[in-house]
Amino acid sequence: MLFFQILAILIQLGVPVFLFFLIWKKWKIDNRLIYAGSAAFLGSQLIHLPLNWYLANVGLLDGSGLVTLLILSFTAGLCEEPARYFVLKRWWPASNTYKEAIAFGAGHGGIESLGVGLLSIFSVMNFWNIKNGGIIPGITPEDLMLAREQIEASLAMPSWLQLAGGFERIFAIVFHFSASCIVMFSIAKNKPMLVWLAILWHTLFNFAGLSVLFLAGGATEPNAIMYSELTLLVLMIPSIWIIKTTRKSLKSNQY
């Protein structure tokens, strides 16, 4: 299992680094768009996280039911897509090419993947620490016992399922390419209302994977994880369609 956990982390960290390097070396565009995409994601979280905290406090996020998952999916799109639009419109209003949209999406999805990879490192360290009888400061004995039960459930799953977290990041980055293309198209064609299309697409993408996972039994069920990842894989079809369609509409100029 440890091998697959490490491999998943390498995917989460390695894919965005590879994309950044490829864009920096091969594409003749303003590479600062990668940083701009990263900044858009990080800036959106300054609103997204407090918003979810507030909704939880007023009772709208009261569990893991479908309504809660739908709200969480919607708030992600509601915060991230306007952030894309604002950053591009404010600092790169002349950006109107397919490759610029992809670079921006690589930064947005890439920084998220790097964050997930770093969190996965700490999660794996805690996983094996608890499994081997270690303790974690600040965790009550009851929570520690629950964590050990969850670890035993994880160890009973096929080891290759650990790769799901890595594949999920690849699917998410492709999605971010498509969402960035929609937002870039809305700016290039002066149609800001199309940002709502990006918000709805973001909501659908998140909710589809989460709802299938929930309905199939949750994150402790191997089949549920597999079905959830297959759902995201299927959603790569519209993602690629969006990318190809907007590519035809956006300028290609000298790139």
Rounded alpha-carbon distances, angstroms, from residue 180 to 168, 174, 183: 18, 10, 5
One digit per residue, the tens of pLDDT, for the chain of length 255 reads 778 888 989 999 999 999 999 999 888 888 889 999 999 999 999 999 999 999 999 988 877 789 999 999 999 999 999 999 999 998 877 777 889 999 999 999 999 999 999 988 888 777 766 666 666 665 666 555 665 556 666 666 777 788 898 999 999 999 999 999 999 999 988 899 999 999 999 999 999 999 999 999 888 788 999 999 999 999 999 999 999 998 888 765 433
125-129: Cβ within 8 A, 24+ apart: 127/5, 127/151, 127/154, 128/2
Alpha-carbon span 52 to 48, nearest angstrom: 6
Which amino acid would we find at residue 76?
Answer: A
**The amino acid at 202:** H
Helix (H) or strand (E) holding 88: helix 66-91
C-alpha 14/C-alpha 102 separation (Å) is: 17
pLDDT of residue 254: 39
Confidence at residue 146, expressed as pLDDT on a 0 to 100 scale: 61
Any long-range contacts for 118-126 (C-beta under 8 Å, 24+ apart)? 118/13, 120/5, 120/8, 120/9, 120/12, 120/165, 121/9, 124/2, 124/5, 124/6, 124/9
State how far the Cα of 7 lies from the Cα of 162, in Å rounded to an integer.
Answer: 8
